[in-house]
Structure 1
C-alpha cells in the first residue's frame, strides 16, 4: 500500500506526530497505546498484525522502542524523510521544553504538582485501553497466554536491565518451537521506499560509530566529542526504554563532574512532567553542560543509534517475517510483548499513579471517557491535568 510522497502527506504526518508529542504522557508503554489509538484504530494506516510485528521488532533493537515505532510508521507512510518528520514532531516539543528548563528554571520541582499526578492517572487509562486491545490480538490461545504470563512474571520479579530482552529472546525460541508449523496467513506486505543496500549501510554505520567514537574521544580529548560518544553509547546499549538509560547517563556524567547530582535529579523530575520520549532527558543534560547547542547535540547523539537501527532493519523486515520459522518466533515474541506491557502497566505506571481510592475512581472516569465515549486523547490529557490539580486540594 504505497503512496506517492507529497508535501501534504509529510505535513499531515508532522501535524499528527507533533500532536502526539504534545499529549503523549506516561512513558514508552503509554506511547505505544497512543500510537495504536492514532495510527491503527483511527487512521488505519497499518493493521493490527503489522503494528504488533513492528513493536516486536523495536523491542528487539536497543534504544527507545516507542520512538523507533514512530519512526517506522513514518517510514512506511513517507519513506526516510517521513521517518525524520515523524521523529521531529514526536520529539521536538519535549526537547524544547527541557532545554528551556535547563537554561531558566533548574530549581523548579515538579515532583509533587497536582497536574502531574493527573497526567500519571491519564497514563493508567491509556495503557489499560492499549493492553485490552493488544492482548486480545496477541494472545488468542492458551499457548500464547502462557507465554504472556511467563513474560509478565519474570519482568515483574526480575527487574534488571537485561531481563526484558532475555524474556523476548526466550519467547522467540518458544514461539519457533511451538508455532513454526502454523498455517500461512495472508499478511499485508509493505514495500518500503528504502533499499536493502541503504539498510546495510545504516547497520554498518551504527556498529562503526560504536567502535570509532571512543577511539576519537581518546585521540582528540575534545569535550564535544566526549559528549557525543557518551550519549551515542547510551542510546546504543540500552534495552527496555527510557527509564533504563537513566543509570547509564548518571554513571557517565555525575561522577565525572559534568553535572551535579542535584541538577541531574531536578532534570529527571522535569523529564517526567513533559510528554514524549524520556530519552529527551539528554536534551536537558546537554543544555546544563553546554547550553542550547549542547542540548541539541545530546539529543542528536542519543537518538542517532535508534534511527540507524530501525532504518537498517526495516528493508529486511518483510522477508524475515514471512519466513515460517521467523513468523513462529515473532508469534512468541508478540505474546511476550503483551505480558511485558501488563508488567510495565503495574510497575511503574500503576504503582506510581494509583495511591489513593480517589485516584482509582478518577482513572476509571478517564478510561470510560476514552473507551466508551471515545473522546480524543487530548481531551483525556486536559481533563487529567485539570482533575489532578483539583484533587491535590482535596
Structure 2
C-alpha cells in the first residue's frame, strides 16, 4: 500500500495531471451553470459557513478562491524561492525580465481599457479588470500543451504571474477596497516574521527540529493564523500563501536529508494539484452567458477583451523586448521570442482576480456586471486557444529538435 500511495503521489505531482483536472473542473462548472440546473450550482456555491467572530463566515466560492487557493500560492511561492536561490532567477539580468514584463503587462491592458471607456461614465471604473493573470489556469494550460517546452518558460510565467497578482492585489487594496484594517495586517506581518525566523534552522528553529513535537503542530496553526489575519485586513488572503512560500528555507541543515522547502512541497503538491485546483475551478469558473449580442456592444466588455487578449500580448512581449534593448536584462538562451509571444497570450487568461475586480467595479450595475463577466470568460477562452496554438507548435518544434539531437548523439557514438 505505501508503494501504491507513493506512485499515486508522484502522478499527482505532475503539472499536466493537475492541468487536466483543473480544466475538467472548469468545464463542469460552465456546463452546470448554463444548464437548466444552474440554480443548484449557484446555491451550492453561495452556501456559507465558518466562524463569524473571525470574519470567516464565507461562501464555498470564497473558501475556494481565498482559502484553498492560498495553498496553491504557497506551492508557487516556494517554487519561486527555489528558483531565486538555486535556479534560473539567481541571475539578476534574467530575473529582471519577467518582472518588468509583468509590470508592462498590467499597465498596457489598463490603458487600452481606459482608452475605450473614456467618457462612458461608470464603465471606466473597470480599468483594473484586464490587469490580472490567473496563474492557476495559465500554469495548467502550459503544462497540458507545452510538455516539451524549455523549463525556463515555466519559470518566466511563474515569476510574471506572481508579480502580476501582487500588483493586482495592490490595485484592489488601493482603488477597490473601501476599508483596509491595518491592525490585522500588522499582526499578520509580525507572524510572518515569526514564520521566517523559524525557517532559519538556528536557535528556536533548531530546538523545534530537535524536539519530540512534530513541526506541523506548530506550523499549521501559525499558517492558519497568518492567513486569517491577512483575510481580516482586507488584503486578498492568497498573499499569505505567497509570503510563506517565499520564506521557506531551501538549504539543508546538518542531519536533514532534504530542505524544509523540498520536503513541504513534496507533501503538499499532490493535494494542491488533485484537490485545491479542481475545486477552485469548479467554484470559480461558473460564469453564466447572458448571450453574445450585448457583449460586443458593451464598452466595458469590449475593453476587457481588448485588454486581456491584445493588451497582455503588447505589454509583456513589447516590454520584455524593449527591456533587453535598453538594459542589461537578457532572455534565457534556451528561449526564443516566439516562446515569449505564446506565453504572453497565455497571460491573457484573467479569470479569478479579473472576476473579483469585476464584482468590485460593477456591483451596483448588474447589466454591466453580467457583460463584463462574460467578457472576462470569452477573453480567457480566446487567449487559451491562441496560446495553445503557438505553444503547441513550439512544443512540437522542441520535441523534434530534441529527437534530432538524440539521433545525432547516437550516430556519433556509433
- TM-score, normalising length: structure 2: 0.30
- TM-score, normalising length: structure 1: 0.31
Q: Which has the larger radius of gyration?
A: 2
